[in-house]
Amino acid sequence: MEWIANNVFNEVAILIGLIVVVGLLLQKKRFEEILSGAIRATVGVYAMFIGIGVFVGGLSAFQAITASAFGKEPPTSGVTLDEFMADKGSVIAMVITVAFLMHLLLVRVLKLKFVYLTGHLMFWMSVVVTASLTAGWGSMGKWTMILIGSAIVATYWTIQPIVMQKKMERVIGSQDWGYGHTSASAAYIGAAIGEKIGDPEKQDTEKLKMPRWLSFFKDVNVSTAVVIMAIMLVSMAFADPAVYNAQADTYSATMNPWVWAIVSALRFAAGIAILLFGVRMFLAEIVPAFKGISDKLIPGTRPALDCPTVFPYSPTAVMIGFLSSTAVFLVLMWLFPALGWFGGFVLVPPMIMLFFPGGAAGVFGNKHGGWPGAVAGGAANGLFLGFGQAITWHLLTNTGPQMATLADPDWYIVNWAILFVRHPFGFADGYQGFVTVFGWLLCLAVAYGGYSLYKRFKGQKPVAAAPSEQRELHHV
């Protein structure tokens, strides 16, 4: 048993590969398909860890230089994300597996008919919940953490598409699939505000014309490199030369620090790209394995899919939401250090999270309130990412706080909700005090939302099966 623990359960890539093997065996796949699927999944996990290592290194340099430019100290980290993933990788792998089975059971018993199939977010939500439980209950046993974490994750996967269902129908005009993405809170707020401030017919974004050069931002690899590079170079102009020289020396003692800044920004973007490539690679194997199981157990269900599935319904709103989200985030990035908020915390622009969740929130806002709603949806996403990053970094200091810079809005909400349970009355306890206030407000919102959902679905007939030709789209 000790050998299995050390060589299987403590090696997350091997564990993921074995999970794929089990899923494909249940579908009676051929030997060569099982072997190739397991190997691709395993290699994908290793690629993800390599990308995380590059990303964490670039993040440390970026924060140190930007903090120096504002005369602040960079945020501290007791444990880096790659260290946390290496330590808790087996727990995370088991959480995603057990949670999926729990999710299928909930869907079947409650007859909700939406199966969450946004694979990369199934993985990352399991990471977020594991990190939050570790931060709140560090001494919790492994299997206790797996069971509790799985229950939390399964509940989220089950409820989130249902909460979004009514507004999703307004966007796509049908119930053919649900919205399965951890930007749901920003999208919901964008839709809700849009209903109050705009007219989806008279102020439709698709009647507006956007300049062609804005298409440059659609490539998140390019936009990440350019934005990080620009902020690095500007920050170096105001930073202590000793700080950026020291950071440059860790990469090359002979390279000019200004050239290093450009290289560092490109490496930062490359780290994110490698991370996402690895995630796509292993999810391309594990999601079909999970989907095959769900099809056998709950035929006729509809998938809850990734946020790009709504992009074709308001393409211009996607760009408006992204630009609005980015503008709000950059204002907060300057404001926090300038005013000393959150200890002068240095925000890191997460271009992927600004584009995809921001764009989706723009679509929901537009379909409910035209371009004012699209702007509001993007702004809501920018506020979530700015305040969420500053607060959550401090809450996860000893469990990989870099995760806060990779987060979608719902990641923060789930993290805060879990830590609220740990300290429900810690009103005066720094960042936990915010979480406590948020937690009680969330309890009121959940109570009201639960009552509203009960009224909506009471006596409602199950919906018919979705057309088989609907395709799943992915972003990471």
CB 305 within 8 A of CB 473: yes
- What is the C-alpha separation between 123 and 276, in angstroms, rounded? 12
CB 197 within 8 A of CB 372: yes
Rg of the chain taking only CA atoms, in angstroms: 22
pLDDT digits (tens, 9 = 90+) for 206-244: 887 767 776 666 676 887 788 888 888 998 998 889 988
Question: 211: helix, coil or strand?
Answer: coil
CB 50 within 8 A of CB 274: yes
Using CA atoms, how far residue 463 sits from 34, 110, 467, in Å, is 34, 13, 12
CA angle 123, 126, 127 (to 5 degrees): 90
Tokens for 52?
């995380």
- What is the C-alpha separation between 14 and 336, in angstroms, rounded? 42
List the one residue out of 26, 221, 16 whose CA is nearest residue 123.
16
- Buried b / exposed e over 441-452, threshold 16 CB at 10 Å, is ebeeeeeeeeee
CB 244 within 8 A of CB 261: yes
Tokens for 203?
């102020």
Question: How many CB atoms within 10 Å of residue 130?
Answer: 28
Q: What's the confidence (pLDDT) of residue 376?
A: 96
- What is the C-alpha separation between 328 and 337, in angstroms, rounded? 15
- Concatenate the DSSP letters of all residues of 6-75 into one string: IIIIT-HHHHHHHHHHHHHHHTT--HHHHHHHHHHHHHHHHHHHHHHHHHHHHHHHHHHHHHHHTT-PPP
Which residue numbers in the chain have pLDDT < 50? 1, 5, 463-476
pLDDT digits (tens, 9 = 90+) for 264-276: 989 988 887 887 7
Q: What's the confidence (pLDDT) of residue 400?
A: 83
pTM for the full model? 0.79
Please name the residue that has the structure tokens 């996402």: 276
DSSP code for 342: G
List the one residue out of 110, 31, 168 whose CA is nearest residue 460.
110
Q: What's the confidence (pLDDT) of residue 365?
A: 96
- What is the C-alpha separation between 307 and 93, in angstroms, rounded? 24
Tokens for 140?
């919790």
- Concatenate the DSSP letters of all residues of 367-402 into one string: HHHHHHHHHHHHHHHHHHHHHHHHHHHHHTTTS-GG
Question: How many CB atoms within 10 Å of residue 137?
Answer: 16
- What is the C-alpha separation between 354 and 263, in angstroms, rounded? 23
- What is the C-alpha separation between 199 and 123, in angstroms, rounded? 37
Sheet with 178-179: list strands edge to edge: 114-116, 302-305, 178-179
- What is the C-alpha separation between 284 and 291, in angstroms, rounded? 11
Q: Residue 302: phi, psi to the nearest 5?
A: -105, 145
Q: What's the confidence (pLDDT) of residue 474?
A: 43
Question: How many CB atoms within 10 Å of residue 56?
Answer: 18
